[in-house]
Structure 1
């Protein structure tokens, strides 16, 4: 498998996991506050990676003592991103949070083109345009709901946009870091720094009151962090940033389709959304645009890693 297709596959796994993420985050808020949930996600993922390196390659752990400055900045940005997205979900809904967060992959695509000087061709730009049109149609009705509840919109919008900007900063730095360091080693530090910073603000007593199903939810959130960001780091390593951003735009489609299915089942444990004909058409265009952009990507020359 070429590096390009590896990157695409890893980005697709990330998109799938992120599609289910906001739904589980919203449910977890019934038992825990935002900071406690964010802290658990970081701590769980850090612990798994720390144990892995402690058992398999202990010398790699020296990065903890003196991490690169841009890695520390990336970790701080990721910490703010997690809290911003979590607070956004707290004030709005999983669907609304996903809508607003799409600022992040769009900005990342621009960073990839203008900062990393990644090349694009006409057919890829067409795919990007199709995806943009799809996002407009898909989110049309949901954005109207924002306007009808100005207070929730303003608060949720602020937190999620802050998270989106911080995610772009994290992703841009991660793109550079994965060229020099193992992706999972970087992630260990990326999780560890925010975990330490959020520890003083955690409500540990709330964890003692969790039942079995609630523990399964928070453990899933921890695993989601570990796997999704592990795949994202590898996606950045193997393919272009703008391509990763296009694939990641599929994750809100997954969220809203899942919410529509839950609505048809009349579930009571989460407030559900429904899909209109415009949303379904938009979903098809977003996915079609992303596929077009990926399919017509330029074939890069093989890197030394590919020739070994």
Structure 2
């Protein structure tokens, strides 16, 4: 079987990866602001609907919409699993974010690609190198340090912070399941076609629970953040997919692992400039060290893979 070969334009791959990191890094802040005016179900429905519409127009313009023959060949059960679990990931992440902080959510969600990698070992018979297992140990230590630091917050938050963190963990688990299902779907369709179908199905799933009329009640700031969240989904995933055309997947993944750092810095900056927007984490050096180890562990896992 022929394997995909990168274009060799590593600078372009790096730039696209950094764009994805920036967008994913600031996304929790935009979502947190949006949740002040909308419920999680309406926000999620809007993001999926906007992504479906924009991606559909883009693919139609380029005449790359999936053909009826390819759609009929799709395993519907696998498509249903991918759609339902991505929908669960979006809503659980948002609900968790409403109880916790952006920085905490971004660090926790790093479990998602790690769990997907472990799932790949079990399902697709992939193998971890010694360096990758070492990275997993570093990442685990980072989580322990980071959440040991958060225990004081958990005690004073009347269970809400802990509940929010638990929802983020579950969101990471279901994302890993979605990722494995999507990986298998790529045998029949391109990534863009798969995402178009999943976005459309997810938008329909959340439509009965959405309150579109509440969008008209948003403040200009909240409405701007909502539009940004919708654009963030389509642009970030597009930049991520395009980066894989020009750079090795392991190196792209290593860059993406730095997203929590972007979130932490963004939260501190926003809290300093606009203190009424969000509540920041009061991290000590131990908490910062833990978050840094999570990033280092994720990067080690990504870069420790043997070349095919």
TM-score, scaled to structure 1: 0.82
Which residue does the alignment assign to 1:207? Answer: 215
* Matched residue SS, 1:31: coil
Distance in 2 (alpha carbons) for counterparts of 1:32 and 1:101: 22
Cα drift, residue 10 of structure 1: 6.4
Distance in 2 (alpha carbons) for counterparts of 1:157 and 1:286: 16
Which residue does the alignment assign to 2:160? Answer: 152
Which residue does the alignment assign to 2:98? Answer: 90
Q: Could you tell me whether the CA contact under 8 Å between 2:251 and 2:303 is conserved in 1? A: no
What is the CA deviation profile of residues 105-126 of structure 1, one whole-angstrom value per residue up to 9, with x for unaligned ones?
Answer: 3322211222222222222322
Cα 1:156/1:207, change in 2 over 3 Å: same
Deviates more, 1:245-254 or 1:28-37: 245-254
Which residue does the alignment assign to 1:39? Answer: 45
Q: Could you tell me whether the CA contact under 8 Å between 1:91 and 1:152 is conserved in 2? A: yes
Cα 1:139/1:239, change in 2 over 3 Å: farther
* Matched residue SS, 2:126: coil
TM-score, scaled to structure 2: 0.82
Cα 1:229/1:67, change in 2 over 3 Å: farther
Gaps of 5+ in 1: 301-308
Gaps of 5+ in 2: none
Which residue does the alignment assign to 1:26? Answer: 32
Alignment of 1:147-296 (within 5 A): 147-231=155-239, 248-265=256-273, 267-296=275-304
Cα drift, residue 158 of structure 1: 4.5
The number of residues matched between the two structures is 299
Q: Could you tell me whether the CA contact under 8 Å between 2:260 and 2:295 is conserved in 1? A: no
Cα drift, residue 33 of structure 1: 1.0
* Matched residue SS, 2:37: coil
Cα drift, residue 272 of structure 1: 1.8
Distance in 2 (alpha carbons) for counterparts of 1:273 and 1:196: 35
* Matched residue SS, 1:181: coil
Distance in 2 (alpha carbons) for counterparts of 1:252 and 1:169: 22
Cα drift, residue 29 of structure 1: 1.1
- Pairing partner for 1:68 from 75, 86, 90: 75
* Matched residue SS, 2:159: helix
